[in-house]
Amino acid sequence: MSTTDNATGAASGAPLLEVDDLHVEFRTREGVAKVLNGVSYYVESGETLSVLGESGSGKSVTAQTVMGILDIPPGKITSGSIRFKGEDLLHATPERRRELRGDTMAMIFQDALSALNPVYTVGFQIGEQLRLRRGMSRKDAQAKAVELLDQVKIPNAKQRVKEFPHQFSGGMRQRAMIAMSLALDPELLIADEPTTALDVTVQAQIMDLLDDLRRERGMGLILITHDLGVVAEVADRIAVMYAGRIVEKADAYSLYRQPGHPYTEGLMQSLPRLDLKGQNLSTIKGLPPNLMNIPSGCPFHPRCHRAVEQCSTHVPEVHELGFGRVSACHFAEELMSRD
């Protein structure tokens, strides 16, 4: 696609990123796992979309497909579209996808220690993409790396830029990963479980940092997590995933106030609450489904306390609930009609 085409897509009012009816399979010796089954969502510039769900729901696979880093094989995109500012990414050349990664789209991975190379200093790794993509000298790239580490609030950045990943704490490594992802000023940042293995205080600091950077830079942010508590203060909208599907979408306030799907309801009830001190936490019974053998009807019905016979035989339609809310549940309107 030409520069003119890109400009036309941006000017037409298209979202920053739009994923539409995306289907992905993993073909293995054991069989075919249907990992994504019609995922659709969008994110605008300057807003935070949280993609929420249990491990195995397809959150990270969606992000990898968006970034063009899905392992193919065993992965296979069977249908759907991904558009960035109107540009069709699934039909872009490999060269175009590489051009977009880093420059306009970046991703923070959940395991910073594995994502960082242990034999190079943090400053070298941040500066490498500046030297390759921006043609900076080693000295200028080092200076920019110091500036970026300072922006993500790493103390004594001039000294820390010369240190190796193992010399950083978990929270500091995650900040370094954020600095690396921001080096080329991307318009879209995908953060995949950015607070994994961090204590509660550091989690809050990382989330506040991402929110501040999103507002300062006006970039779109996709926050992937399984923790409702992490996204409560920063998400504008939330998409809840289960078994490779989006089962509910809503603005954050509405979803927390009144969930429109039994799975979301179960996740909300599983959160610790101060007013229920001393009581057992509510849990969602059972386990997520085997994606090689997804249950018929609603995939959540074996674990759902509201399930009836219809739920095991009929796939629920996506119900429009007003104000941008949708829910893939036979009882969506009933859930929303409660006081």
Q: Which residue has the tokens 């991904």?
A: 82
How does pLDDT run across 39-55, given as a tens digit for each residue?
Answer: 999 999 999 999 999 88
In a domain, 303, yes or no: yes
In a domain, 129, yes or no: no
In a domain, 238, yes or no: yes
Mean pLDDT of the region 29-33: 90
Q: Cα–Cα distances in Å, from 299 out to 26, 59, 101, 138, 170?
A: 18, 16, 34, 53, 36
In a domain, 12, yes or no: yes
Q: Terminal CA-to-CA distance of the chain, rounded, Å?
A: 51
In a domain, 219, yes or no: yes
Tokens of 150: 């300072």
Position 276 scores a pLDDT of 67
* H-state helical runs in the chain: 3-11, 59-67, 94-103, 112-115, 122-134, 138-151, 157-160, 170-182, 200-217, 228-231, 252-257, 262-269, 309-313, 332-336
Mean pLDDT of the region 248-260: 91
Position 140 scores a pLDDT of 93
Sequence-ordered list of residues with C-beta below 8 angstroms from that of 196, at least 6 positions apart, any chain: 110, 111
HSE-CB of 27 using CA atoms within 13 angstroms: 7
Mean pLDDT of the region 122-140: 91
In a domain, 153, yes or no: no
Query: Is a pLDDT exceeding 60 seen at residue 6?
Result: no
Number of domains in the chain: 1
Q: Which residue has the tokens 């590489």?
A: 98
Position 103 scores a pLDDT of 85
pTM: 0.88
In a domain, 158, yes or no: no
The domain that contains 79 carries what CATH number?
3.40.50.300
Nearest alpha-carbon partner for 198 in 163, 180, 173, 181:
173
Q: Reply yes or no: is the peptide bond before residue 155 cis, omega within 30 of 0.
A: no
In a domain, 112, yes or no: no
- Domain assignment of residue 300, given as a range: 3-104+186-336
Calculate ∠ Cα 207-212-214, nearest 5°. 95
Percentage of the chain exceeding pLDDT 70: 94
Query: Is a pLDDT exceeding 50 seen at residue 332?
Result: yes
Position 4 scores a pLDDT of 38
Mean pLDDT of the region 215-232: 88
Mean pLDDT of the region 153-160: 91
State how far the Cα of 229 lies from the Cα of 233, in Å rounded to an integer.
8
- Looking at this protein, which amino acid is placed at residue 176? A
Query: Is a pLDDT exceeding 80 seen at residue 229?
Result: no
Q: How confident is the model at residue 338 (pLDDT cuts 50, 70, 90)?
A: low
The helix/strand/coil state of 174 is helix
